[in-house]
Structure 1
């Protein structure tokens, strides 16, 4: 075991990545976002609402030392093109500062399958997400989720007396970046549907519980801002023919940035119940847990599961509010928000759903 794993509190995280790493990230993120902006504004029509409000939030987060909490943005997911295309609506000035740009989650078996892609997506602040059908590391309790929780939080990540097992496990998984002091209270973007879902009326699937963990376990509770997008499903339709790798253009692209969620009002009660559950479990074991490290009862216990379900439902409702502001028809039926509604779908990467006839791509 390394000295870092055996004595997790003996060293402070480094301040920031090396200068070459910072320059590479700035270049990769800036050029990618610039190309995205040129594509959507040069070859499509664009409608953006709430952008000034969102830019004001980012402006206030420029100074890392003045940040008071992390930021989670949540959005529906309608194409493999959503990220980075959706960030093309941000002005160029916002793309060359990785410390004030989003971290996102990308499929490990696609985004990190070779050395070049690993380097590119790591520089682009993408965390490798493992899927159970492709990796034994997949699922809600994979190392990527604690990594996102730490990015959203402040230090210390490990409490005195902690064994450091979580840190050791995480560093054994390729693709996870180290945590730097500069990354405290970061911005993490999540597509909680966790797969592309193309429905003609822009209905959404249920939201998976990774976002619930981030809201319940990050310290302090992060800010949450919902977003709704429409149009990229026509740029990269799941039933497109050859050449599949080329995006289509001449599309109306819509992005709506919602109001920041009143997190205490919306999530305060469930977070208080979660914290009480954590206190009960720690009183039994008398062992402090690392941030993001959970005993079995907090992973699989009935109360913990219920709390994650409730948080995911409330997050989805916040995205639905933004959807409603764009005058889309109400969802039908409301059972679309429940995981069990979707359990009978085919066990394939790409398929037409037998639940709502949408086109689904889980390989993205």
Structure 2
């Protein structure tokens, strides 16, 4: 997702995180559009094409540009009905993680927002990738920019998930949380798809539900991983608390012999 939507990394920018506009756009791309770019609409002078605004629609008089930091402008793909129910490919770890035993980091909670907040539960297909660390390992030296030839890459697709059986109960809980938030703050009812108030973003119930959804998604990927004959992971691998023990170091070789890079 971060390669096709302008995404900020929280480790590098205060504009990153769970509520950033890229997540809103992804939720809307999984829903029935079109959507106005609110609440992240770019300034009026950034809505029309110019040499300064090249990432907007030169053939439209409608406001279709959104901003990620109150200064830039980008064409909102969800502003076009033809982009409804799009395919959104995500890497939920949120960074490069190359581990010697092919284990995974914890998944970021944005994946839960995509599943809970889309107008209909999107189809979910778990995928397991292997071999890219051999082609472009983070420890590689000169010529670092060149992929290493002669390596084997494996891409394993799991079965399409029965979303009602796996996520139906969680989406119902999300609707109940939203209904209570609307009673506490009537304006919540008018929030556009992909926009949240503080209670829905940071409230305890909402946070705990996102954790559960994210774990369920990670378990689906683990099932595909196991079909590759890899040993079972330590359950602690999927916990945020485990990775906090890495300390402040963000990138490079970690104590567990894995290599990490935030891109």
> Structure 2-normalised TM-score?
0.84
Name the structure, 1 or 2, with higher relative contact order (CA <8 Å, separation 6+).
1
Pair 1:312-2:218 in alignment: no
Pick from 325, 339, 349: which aligns with 2:240? 339
Give me the CA root mean square deviation. 1.8
- Alpha-carbon distance between aligned partners in 1 of 2:175 and 2:126, rounded to the nearest angstrom: 24
Report the equivalent of 2:162. Answer: 262
- Contact kept, 8 Å, 1:193 with 1:205, in 2: the verdict is yes
Structure 1 segments, 4+ long, off by >6 Å, are: none
- Structure 1: tracts of 5 or more residues without a match: 1-103, 107-125, 159-163
Report the equivalent of 1:165. Answer: 39
After superposition, the C-alpha distances for 1:199-234 in whole angstroms (9 at most, x for unaligned) are 111110110001100000011110100000101100
After superposition, the C-alpha distances for 1:56-76 in whole angstroms (9 at most, x for unaligned) are xxxxxxxxxxxxxxxxxxxxx
Q: CA deviation at 1:352?
A: 2.0
Report the equivalent of 2:50. Answer: none
- Contact kept, 8 Å, 1:128 with 1:175, in 2: the verdict is no
Report the equivalent of 1:55. Answer: none
- Alpha-carbon distance between aligned partners in 2 of 1:213 and 1:153, rounded to the nearest angstrom: 12
Q: Greater helix share, 1 or 2?
A: 1
Pair 1:155-2:33 in alignment: yes
Q: Greater strand share, 1 or 2?
A: 1
Report the equivalent of 1:43. Answer: none
Specify the SS of the correspondent of 2:224: helix
- Alpha-carbon distance between aligned partners in 1 of 2:211 and 2:9, rounded to the nearest angstrom: 20
- Contact kept, 8 Å, 2:130 with 2:154, in 1: the verdict is yes
Report the equivalent of 2:136. Answer: 236
- Alpha-carbon distance between aligned partners in 2 of 1:212 and 1:323, rounded to the nearest angstrom: 20
- Structure 2: tracts of 5 or more residues without a match: 44-64
| Alignment length (residue pairs) | 235
Q: How has the CA–CA distance of structure 1 residues 302 and 245 changed in structure 2, closer, same or farther, with 3 Å as cutoff? A: same
